[in-house]
Structures are given as C-alpha cells and as structure tokens.
C-alpha cells in the first residue's frame, strides 16, 4: 500500500484521511502527540504518527494541511526533499509553496466545506506530471477538476469555496418565505433540505435553463415566483458575487 503523509492534523487532514484510509497507508505529522492520538481514534484505523521537529520528508508523498499563516514556521522544521507536495492551503500560490518547501513537485488543491461529508468539489492545479495522482487522491473526498492556471483556481474558489455560503443564503431565505406565508418552521426547514437534496442530483445531468423550463408553465405559479427573483436582481447579484469574491482573493 502507498503511504500518504499528512503534515497537520486538523479538520481538513482528517476529512481527507477518512477518504483515503481504505486504499492508502496513513502517516500523520504534528506537533503534539496527544492530538495525533485523537486523530488516530477519530479516523478509526492504525496510523503512523510522527512529531514535526526534524521530520524527514525525503521521497514522501505529502498532503500539506496546515494554516496558510504557518507555512514559513512549519517549513523550517522539516528535513529532506519530498517526492510531491499536495497543498490544501487556501490562497497560497505555487510560487510561495515552492520557495518555502523542499520538493520535486507541487500541486495546489482547493477542497470545499463538503470535504467533511466526503463530497468536496475540489479544484487542482500545479505540476501536470502529478495530475492523475492528484485526481485520484483528492477524488477520494468527492469530485475534482484540474485547472490550467492559478488565476482559474482563484475564480473557481469564488464559486466552489464560497458557494456553500451563497446557497445557504438562498436556502434560508426560501424557508423564511414559506414561514412568512404560514408554514411551520420545522416543516419549512425539512422541505428546503429535501429540495436541495433532490436538486443536487438533478443538476448533475440537466442544464439549469432546462430544469427551469421544465417546471415553469405559462402564467403559472413558478413563473410568478421566478419573476420576483428577476425583479430582485438575483441573477445579476450572483454574477457580481463571484466577481467580488474573486477580486477579494486577489487583494489578500
Ligand atoms: N476547512 C475547509 O473547509 C477548507 C477548505 C479549503 C482549504 N482549507 C485549508 O485547509 C488548511 C487546514 O485547515 P483546517 O480547517 O484543517 O485547519 P485546522 O483544523 O486549524 O488545522 C491546522 C493544522 O495545522 C497545524 N499546525 C499549525 N501550526 C503548526 C506548526 N507550527 N507545526 C505543526 N503543525 C502546525 C495545527 O496543529 P495543532 O493541532 O497542533 O494546532 C493543525 O493540525 C488551511 O490551510 C485552509 O486554508 C480548508
């Protein structure tokens, strides 16, 4: 079995390790043995545990899962040259990863919140020689999409990374609307969840415009509601939301 070495033992490392544990041997490197033991029991399988100080990553396949602000500090503790580093660090460029970490190759990966339920939409970019391997490893926690540049990964982050917040706003607002018309809160929430669950599957195969056409009869109820969304500039606001989130990523 191939070994994957996690540097960092936080939430994202645990989510990815959950997806990999059946098919890979897992090694986890952290700064606190107790936390590594907690990680091991949360994962539910035996792992190799190592402390980060002087950890030798020579020829290892690394999943780099610390916070972006800790990269310099962590880099000084590591020895050896990694085979490849897959980084999950938000907004941390390939150039910054390459200049801090000693490795043959680097791939930037951008999982989203759904990693915790193994349904992440993860975008990838970096050394193309490792594209297939990156797709296989990150594919263990959901869907992946390889992108040709870091600009595209920043745009995609505005979509898939921030997207759960945008959809959460829609989900809450639609349920609020139903409560306003007299539905009980519990019922409204249960129905909204069912709506999003079913929609999540339908949208995989059907173009959004066709989904909308399929449910909107002439002069009907959906057309009346849809008109209100257009009046409220929801379409333009969504386009603007992606632009604002992307531009903000460039500023940070
Ligand atoms: N959560 C998400 O949905 C999401 C989505 C996309 C990308 N990401 C990226 O995922 C990365 C990790 O996020 P997370 O949610 O897993 O954060 P987290 O739970 O806070 O985990 C961060 C880990 O880094 C370790 N660490 C920090 N400084 C260290 C040091 N000097 N030496 C050794 N270990 C050190 C922490 O160790 P201790 O446990 O000892 O403190 C902890 O295990 C971030 O870069 C974030 O940008 C997260």
What is the CB < 6 Å shell around ligand 1?
Answer: 8-13, 30-32, 35, 52, 65-68, 70, 73-74, 88-90, 110-113, 115
CA proximity to 150, closest of 238, 240, 68, 250:
250
For residues 25 and 49, the answer to whether their CB atoms sit within 8 Å is: no
Could you tell me the CA-to-CA distances from 15 to 77, 112, 131, 227, 228 in Å, in that order?
Answer: 24, 11, 21, 41, 40
DSSP state of 65: -
Global model pTM greater than 0.85: yes
Closest residue CA from atom 9 of ligand 1: 89
Out of 8, 101, 164, mutate this one to test ligand 1's pocket (max ligand atoms within 8 Å of CB): namely 8
Coil vs helix vs strand at 135 = helix
- The phi, psi pair for 89, rounded to 5°, reads -70, 115
Q: What tens digit of pLDDT does each residue of 85-127 get?
A: 999 999 899 999 999 999 999 999 999 999 999 999 999 999 9
Closest residue CA from atom 31 of ligand 1: 74
Sign for the pseudo-dihedral over CA of 95, 96, 102, 107: negative
CA proximity to 88, closest of 48, 123, 136, 127:
123
CA of 9 from ligand 1 middle (Å) equals 7
Q: What tens digit of pLDDT does each residue of 159-205 get?
A: 999 999 999 999 999 999 999 999 999 999 999 999 999 999 999 99
CA proximity to 87, closest of 30, 38, 40, 127:
127
Q: What tens digit of pLDDT does each residue of 27-56 get?
A: 999 999 999 999 999 999 999 999 999 999
- Atom from ligand 1 closest to the CA of residue 14: 16
Out of 52, 65, 109, 153, mutate this one to test ligand 1's pocket (max ligand atoms within 8 Å of CB): namely 65
- Atom from ligand 1 closest to the CA of residue 35: 39
- The phi, psi pair for 68, rounded to 5°, reads -50, -35
Q: What angle do CA 16, 3, 138 make, to 5 degrees?
A: 30
């Amino acid at each position: 079995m191939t070994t994957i070495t996690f540097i960092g033992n936080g939430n994202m490392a645990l989510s990815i390790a959950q997806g990999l544990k059946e098919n890979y041997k897992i090694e986890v490197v952290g700064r606190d043995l107790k936390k590594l033991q907690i990680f091991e029991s949360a994962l539910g399988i035996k792992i190799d545990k190592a402390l980060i100080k002087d950890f030798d990553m020579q020829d290892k396949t690394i999943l780099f899962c610390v916070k972006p602000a800790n990269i310099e500090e962590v880099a000084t503790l590591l020895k050896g040259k990694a085979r490849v580093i897959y980084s999950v660090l938000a907004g941390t460029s390939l150039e910054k990863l390459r200049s801090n970490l000693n490795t043959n190759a680097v791939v930037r990966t951008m999982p989203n919140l759904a990693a915790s339920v193994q349904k992440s939409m993860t975008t990838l970019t970096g050394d193309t020689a490792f594209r297939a391997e990156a797709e296989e490893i990150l594919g263990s926690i959901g869907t992946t999409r390889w992108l040709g540049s870091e600009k595209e990964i920043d745009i995609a982050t505005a979509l898939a990374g921030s997207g759960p917040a945008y959809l959460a706003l829609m989900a809450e607002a639609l349920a609020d609307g139903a409560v306003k018309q007299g539905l009980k809160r519990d019922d409204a929430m249960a129905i909204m969840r069912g709506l999003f669950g079913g929609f999540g599957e339908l949208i995989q195969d059907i173009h959004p415009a066709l989904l909308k056409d399929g449910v909107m009869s002439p002069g009907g109820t959906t057309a009346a509601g849809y008109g209100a969304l257009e009046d409220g500039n929801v379409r333009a606001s969504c386009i603007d939301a992606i632009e604002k989130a992307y531009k903000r990523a460039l500023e940070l």
